[in-house]
Amino acid sequence: MSKPSATERYSYKARWFHWVMAILIVLAYALILSRTQLARGSDARTFVVQTHFWVGIVVLVMAFFRIAERHRHTPPGITPPLEGALRLAATLSHYALYAFLFAQPLLGLFTVLLERGALPIPLTSLSIPAPFDLSKDTAETLEHYHVLLGTIFYYVIGLHVIAAIWHHVVRKDNTVRRMV
């Protein structure tokens, strides 16, 4: 199997954004899940939670650049092309993934700002103040949706990975080769 040409692959930046953001999302999940292994109020737990916040913010910022890169360069076509329900499923799942890249970090960010009044900077006593008043009730509601969306996206991300494997192994198209 030969290496795909540049016109058959996503741009270098698009591939870079995809893989770096995938790693960051796995890291964000790993951080927030690992917090339960640490004592409440401990410096280690605080560091893990604050790092989770900041990884989310990096994902949010990168999402803007990723969208810009996608608009700058038309994604390469899938060969053979998807039709009908497969094309619709691919389009909807990609929109869902992009929505996640924005919604999840924003929900987390607003949860922290509304609950604590500031966004703490890890390993320092510094924080970025919230531009609005505290609202514990709103923060609690946003946190509920942040957790719910995070749970839903375990499955959407899993579906994305399974679909990539299916494209490569069963359908034998160029979907995976376009992103590597």
The tens digit of pLDDT for each residue in 40-64 reads 999 999 999 999 999 999 999 999 9
State the angle between helix axes of 43-72 and 12-34 in degrees (0 to 180), rounded to the nearest 10. Answer: 160
Partners of residue 127 on adjacent β-strands? 120
**Is residue 1 very low, low, confident or very high in pLDDT (cuts 50, 70, 90)?**
low
Token digits for 24? 């960051």
Q: For 105, phi and psi rounded to 5 degrees?
A: -65, -35
Would residue 178 count as lying in a domain? no
How many structural domains does the chain have? 1
pLDDT at residue 121, as a whole number: 86
| CB contact set of 113 (below 8 Å; sequence gap of 6+) | 119, 130, 131, 132
Domain presence at residue 87: yes
pLDDT in tens, 6-30: 568 999 999 999 999 999 999 999 9
22 in Cβ contact with 161 (< 8 Å): no
Alpha carbons 139 and 126: distance in angstroms, whole number: 21
Residue 2 above 70 pLDDT? Answer: no
Report in angstroms the alpha-carbon separations of 24 from 20, 53, 67, 141.
6, 11, 17, 25
Domain assignment of residue 176, yes or no: no
In a domain, 66, yes or no: yes
Q: Is residue 97 part of a domain?
A: yes
Q: Is residue 177, in this structure, part of any structural domain at all?
A: no
Residue 127 forms part of a structural domain:
yes
pLDDT score of 139: 96
Can you tell me the distance from the alpha carbon of 120 to that of 106, in angstroms, rounded to the nearest whole number?
Answer: 16
How many angstroms separate the CA atoms of 140 and 132, rounded? 16
Whether 39 is covered by a domain: the verdict is yes
For residue 4, the model assigns a pLDDT of 55
More confident residue, 2 or 64: 64
Q: What is the pLDDT of residues 66-120, one digit of tens each?
A: 999 999 998 999 999 999 999 999 999 999 999 999 999 999 999 999 999 998 8
Name the residue range of residue 55's domain: 6-171
The whole-number pLDDT of residue 134 equals 92
